[in-house]
Amino acid sequence: MSVLKETAQHVLDIALKAGATDAVAEAVEISVKQVRFSNSQIDAINAWTENNVILFVAVGKRVMSSDLRELDNLDALTEQVVSLAKRAPPSKTYGGIASGKFKYAKPKIDKRILSLDDPSKPVLEAIAGAEEEGAVNVGGTLFVRHSAAGIASSGGALAADENASLDLSVRAFSQPEASGHTLSCTPHLSDLKPRETGLRAGQLASRAKNPVQGEQGKFDLVIEPMCLTELINTTSNMMSAMLVEIGSSMYAKKIGKPVASKHVTFVDDPTIESMSRQTFDHEGVPTRRNVVIKDGVLKTYLHSTSTAKRFKTKTTANAGPLIPTPFTMATQPTAFHPVVIPGDWKVDEMISDVRRGLYINNAWYTRYQNYSTGEFSTIPRDAILKIENGEIVGAAKNVRVSDNMLNLWKSIDALSKNVEEIYWWDEASPPSTVPTVRIRQMNVTRSS
C-alpha cells in the first residue's frame, strides 16, 4: 500500500473511531517547480511542496471538513474535526458519500519528468524559437508538476493516484501591440516541444503586426483551442449541479434540450492521458468519461453523491474539493478534463468559408451579466486576425465579443480535426483537450 493511501486509511480509521458516521480522507503531496520569464530572460525560479490531508466527516447530518497540515499531529486533529462535527448545526441536504466496491485504474507517470534537473533549458529554447520568427520580447512560464494522492472513505474507497506533467506557456511580442501565445501541455517529457511552441508564438506575433482598430458588428469567429478553453472555464463550471441549484447556470432546466449546435459533443474525461488525468474524484469514486452534451443536447449535470441524491440521479464521479478553494465553492462538483470532440475540418478550410470574420488566438476576462441567461463578454487577446472573403488580410485590436454563451455554443458550425491539450493560468482551465472551432455571427463591440 502506498504511504499516502496508508495515511488516508489511518485518518479514516481515527475519524470513524471518534464517532464519524461517514468520512473521506485524501492525503496529498504536491511538488512544483516554476520558471517565470519575461523580456526574453528568466525572472525567477520558484519551487514549492505541499503535504496535507483533506478530511471530510459526517456525524449523521452534521458535517465538517478540514485541511490538515500538521502531519505529525494527525490523530489529534482528526479527533478535533469529528468533535466539531458533533457540535455543528445539521446540514439537512447532505446526501451521504458514495459507497460500493470500487475498481480503480492503475496510474502511470513519465518518471523522466521528475528528474528534469534544469527546467531553464526548455525555456531558453522556447525564447530562441520565438525570436527566430521575429519576436522581440518573449515571456511565459514553465511548470514541472508532480502530485500524488491516497484516498480512503467509509464508503469503501481506497486508492492511490499519481500524476506528473509539464506545461509551457509562451507569449511573444513582435511589436508592443502584436503578440502570439502558444502552449505545450503534456504528461510526457518527450512531448514537450519548447522550440516549436516558441516558433509558433513568434509566427503568430509576426502575423499580428500593425493591428488596426477593430470594427463593431456581426462577425464569424474562428477561435483557437486556447480561446475556446477560456470559454470552457465558465461553461464547464455551469455544468456543475450545485451552480444549477443556486441559479447560477444557463443550463438550469435544460436537460434533454439543445444547448449547443448539433456538431458539438462535450465530454468530461479525466481517464485519458493528460495533465489532469485523475483516478478518482474527491469522494474516492473512480472517475469516468461523462458525455455532458451529445450532438448539441444536454445529457447531464456534473454530480457528487450529495447533489445526485437531490437531483434523483447517480453521481458522475465529479465530486470536487471538499473544502473551499479560491474562486470555487466547497462541495461543488467540478469538471476535471473537458474534451470537445473534434470534427473533420482543416483550419484553412474553416477560414476559407468566412466572408467577414476574425481569427482569434486567445481571450481572457470572460464575465457574465447573468449566469442564468448566459449574457457575457470576453476580450480577445494576442493574434486577432481579420478574415475577408476567406483570406486573412491583416490584424485587428481593441475588440470584445459581447454575446450570449448559449448562442455562442449553438452557433458553432465547424470543428477542426486536430485537437490540443490546453492549460493556461486560471483563464484557460481546467486542462482541456479541444479543437479550433468556427462560430457564426457573433456580436463584436469596442470602446467608443
Partner 1 sequence: MIDEDIAEATLKSAESKGTFLLAEVRTEERNSRNLSVKSSQVNNISTFQDSGMNVRIVLRSGIGFASSNLVSKAEGARLVKQAFKLAKTASRKNPVALSQEPAVRTDWEVRQRRPLVDISTEEKLEYLNSLDSAVMKTKVKVQGRYYEVKDYEISGHFANSEGSRIRSFLPRLKVESFNLVSAKGQTAQSIRQWGASGGWEKKDDWDLVHALPQEMRMLKKQLEQGRMVKPGTYDLICGSEVAGIAAHESCGHPMEADRILGREMSQAGKSFVSPDMIGKQIGSRYATVMDDPTVPGTYGYYPYDQEGVKARPRYLYKEGLINEFLQNRETAARMGVQSNAASRSEFYLREPIVRMANTFVAPGDFEEDEIIGDVKNGVLMHSFTEWNIDDKRYNQKYVSREAYFIKDGELAGPAKKCTLEITTPGFWGAIDAVSKKVGFDSAECGKGDPMQGMAVCTGGPVLRLRSVMLK
- Of 233-272, which residues contact partner 1 (CB under 8 A)? 242, 245-248
Binding positions for partner 1, 164-183, rule CB under 8 A = 169-171, 173, 176-177, 181
User: Per rule CB under 8 A, is residue 86 in the interface with partner 1?
Assistant: no
Q: How far apart are CA 36 and CA 403, in angstroms?
A: 35
Binding positions for partner 1, 5-24, rule CB under 8 A = none
Check if the beta carbon of residue 173 is closer than 8 Å to that of residue 205: yes
Considering only residues 2, 6, 42, 158, which one is a binding residue for partner 1 as defined by CB under 8 A? 42
Task: Choose between 215 and 349: whose C-beta lies nearer to partner 1.
Answer: 215
Check if the beta carbon of residue 434 is closer than 8 Å to that of residue 420: yes
Q: Identify the CA nearest to 25 among candidates 187, 150, 138, 133.
A: 150
Considering only residues 17, 210, 365, 389, which one is a binding residue for partner 1 as defined by CB under 8 A? 365
CB of 110 to partner 1, least distance (A): 22
Check if the beta carbon of residue 208 is closer than 8 Å to that of residue 395: yes
CB of 376 to partner 1, least distance (A): 7
User: Per rule CB under 8 A, is residue 89 in the interface with partner 1?
Assistant: yes
Q: How far apart are CA 232 and CA 184, in angstroms?
A: 18
CB of 30 to partner 1, least distance (A): 10
User: Per rule CB under 8 A, is residue 312 in the interface with partner 1?
Assistant: no
Task: Choose between 330 and 393: whose C-beta lies nearer to partner 1.
Answer: 330
Describe the chain by its helix, strand, coil percentages, rounded to 5: 25, 40, 35
User: Per rule CB under 8 A, is residue 34 in the interface with partner 1?
Assistant: yes
Considering only residues 7, 9, 65, 334, which one is a binding residue for partner 1 as defined by CB under 8 A? 65
User: Per rule CB under 8 A, is residue 386 in the interface with partner 1?
Assistant: no
User: Per rule CB under 8 A, is residue 147 in the interface with partner 1?
Assistant: no
User: Per rule CB under 8 A, is residue 330 in the interface with partner 1?
Assistant: yes
Instruction: Output the CA angle 187-192-195, nearest 5 degrees.
Output: 165
User: Per rule CB under 8 A, is residue 64 in the interface with partner 1?
Assistant: yes
CB of 367 to partner 1, least distance (A): 5
Q: Residue 405 has what DSSP assignment? A: H
Task: Choose between 44 and 344: whose C-beta lies nearer to partner 1.
Answer: 44
3-state SS, residue 196: helix
Q: How far apart are CA 7 and CA 151, in angstroms?
A: 9
User: Per rule CB under 8 A, is residue 289 in the interface with partner 1?
Assistant: no
Run of H or E including 118 = none
Q: Identify the CA nearest to 386 among candidates 415, 351, 345.
A: 351
CA terminus-to-terminus distance, the chain:
63
User: Per rule CB under 8 A, is residue 331 in the interface with partner 1?
Assistant: yes
Q: How far apart are CA 332 and CA 317, in angstroms?
A: 12
User: Per rule CB under 8 A, is residue 38 in the interface with partner 1?
Assistant: yes
Task: Choose between 386 and 438: whose C-beta lies nearer to partner 1.
Answer: 386
The Cβ of residue 129 has, within 10 Å, a number of other Cβ atoms equal to: 25
Q: What is the dihedral of CA 398, 403, 404, 407, to 10 degrees?
A: -110
373, three cell numbers? 441567461
CB of 82 to partner 1, least distance (A): 12
User: Per rule CB under 8 A, is residue 101 in the interface with partner 1?
Assistant: no
Considering only residues 102, 336, 376, 409, which one is a binding residue for partner 1 as defined by CB under 8 A? 376
Stretch that binds partner 1, among 8-16, 108-116, 158-166, 328-336 (CB under 8 A): 328-336
Q: How far apart are CA 119 and CA 9, in angstroms?
A: 35
Considering only residues 352, 373, 389, 418, which one is a binding residue for partner 1 as defined by CB under 8 A? 373
Check if the beta carbon of residue 248 is closer than 8 Å to that of residue 238: yes
